[in-house]
Chain A
Amino acid sequence: MTGSARRIMAVADKELRQLSRDRVTFGMVVMIPLIQLLLFGYAINTMVRDIPVAIVDLSGSAAARVITEQVRVTQVVDIVAIYDTPAEAEAAVVAGTIRAALVLPHDLTQRLVAGDTAGQWIVDGSDTMVGSALLGLRSMPLQIEAGTPQGAYRPAGTTFEVALFFNPERRSEVNIVPGLTAVILTMTMILFTSAALVRERERGNMELLITTPIYPLELMIGKLIPYIFVGIIQITIILGLGRLVFAVPFNGQFTDLVVITLAFIAASLTLGLLISTVARTQMQAMQMTVFILMPSILLSGFMFPYDAMPLPAQYIAEVLPATHFIRLIRGVYLRGAEVEQLLPDLLWLAGFTVLMLLIATLRFRKTLD
């Protein structure tokens, strides 16, 4: 029995020594719980606040200003714009600059006197959590007492009407399926490329490659091309099944979808490439991929609305390609936005790709020093 215990301890001791010599893995032992805890703590905030909205005041009345103020103090929304016409507001919703707009009609004062609904929310329903939060405002009580005769207004049964655009039934799969493309592509694209270069180094192929006339950039781009097709196959499966099985509507342009998908695939692949110049083993490459994958799930807007997250979490989210892609694909796929309306996110992905490719190429040397 003691012999058995000795052998077990011998293996455990050896394992511990090896673990402590693999600095990256050892670092991950500490970093993963630390970072993930912070991410979860920040992101898991099911109380949605500070949704960016706009006001369209067609009445120009004092009551409208009072209502606007009362909507503001709920803290559910953050009024970021004032538009003159409902059409402008709708365009802004499609473009994703605001999540909803409150339209207060010409006859606002008469409606209030008659006890009718005061106005209408035009809501981007493509994010179901945002939609639900705004539905909560449907019956918010209004107090428009100051400066008006007592009892002039009758309380309405429903304060606002809510028009949920793009996902009127509030089906969560409509929200999830396009977002899932971002998560799955992040995982596979980064993992495949990061492992690809490391594998060549592990198996000794790299020593041969660097004695040939190939240039680092040629090697990098050549390694990426096959995975572009892998990404296209995956997104086709996800969106195809989403349509067939979950009846997720496609409201946008096919070419726009192709453009944003390629931009995201390129960004993810180059990120994987950068990892592969840092990681020494495939195991390390895998861990670094998980390290990027977790915030991409939690902070990108896939699980929790971006607008509801505190600022530090938003800063982290802003760095992740998945965040930008989720904005793009929900815009194009669900809201029928055109690429021109979503240009900042697209340009960000393009810039990210170039930067990653540049750093990866500079880091990759054709020497063994």
Chain B
Amino acid sequence: MLLLAIESSCDETSVAVLRDGRILSTLVASQTALHAPHGGVVPELATREHLRNLPLLVQRALKQAGVLATELRAVAVTQGPGLPPALMVGLASARGVAMAAGCPLYGIHHIEAHLYSPWICPQRREMDWNAFIPNLALIASGGHTLLVHVSGAGRHQVLGSTLDDAAGECFDKMAKLMGLGYPGGPEIDRLAAGGDRAAFNFPRPLLDRASDDFSFSGLKTSVRYFLAQHPQERDERLPDLCASAQAAVVDVLVAKAVRAACRLKVSAITASGGVSCNRALRGALQDACTSQGMTLRLAAPEYCTDNAAMIGMLADWKIRQGAAPLALPAESRPRWPLQELAS
């Protein structure tokens, strides 16, 4: 089955073409440079860019895949959650393709797709279903931070999520306070490599609580107060500052993920979302899993951030499981809770 997948939930326009679950082409048009001067994603700008980028990207993806749009047998699109106008453009574009090609359209939950992106084998460019085992999934990005128990393919339960800022949002805000550019996560990651993670002691929010929820706004505030009291540290010890702030985020994410995995007696942890590209997080998760005798599946960097390949992969699996296509009245779902799909 030849499938076209479209992702436009935030500031990345992405298109992928898959045949029988294998990626033939995958493209991402990043808008990072466009939003950088504003210090964050501006929904209006993102939407205008999606509208311009999507036709070009689909054309290129089809060409790279060596297929014609008339050969498509299904179209999949991120239906939610995400920025309302950005989702709307993706859905309308996908619907236009699907109706013209006379094929069904499938709406995919963005976070659910992230749950399975660590199981995409980058070499074979298809899902490694044979290796799939029940796991604890950590999803950490600029818009989401969740712990999810994935008890089987298509079966999951949300254990906890952030009560305020997402981990990536916290990185961006801390970076801004430190005078760094946007996006803040990669900048902090880069500078932290030369710093001492124990130089400054920032709080590890909710780490002592039994809950699987997160809270990062207090950490950002702590960094703000610290810099107000010690402004010279920003200039003199920026790498230490980055490493210490990053360590606070990483420690919380890793400790809560491992604790939940142990409690649920699952033998694997997975991580996806833009923040899981962070080298300190990847290293700390690896160390923790090794010491606990757990398997770690990290999404490949190209499948960590928002991408249409993971949307297409999940759609392909769901179609084979008999999922129903979207009806014509269906609209985007900007606040679609993952719990709604739980089973």
Partners in one complex: no
Residues of B bordering A, CB below 8 Å: none
Residues of A bordering B, CB below 8 Å: none
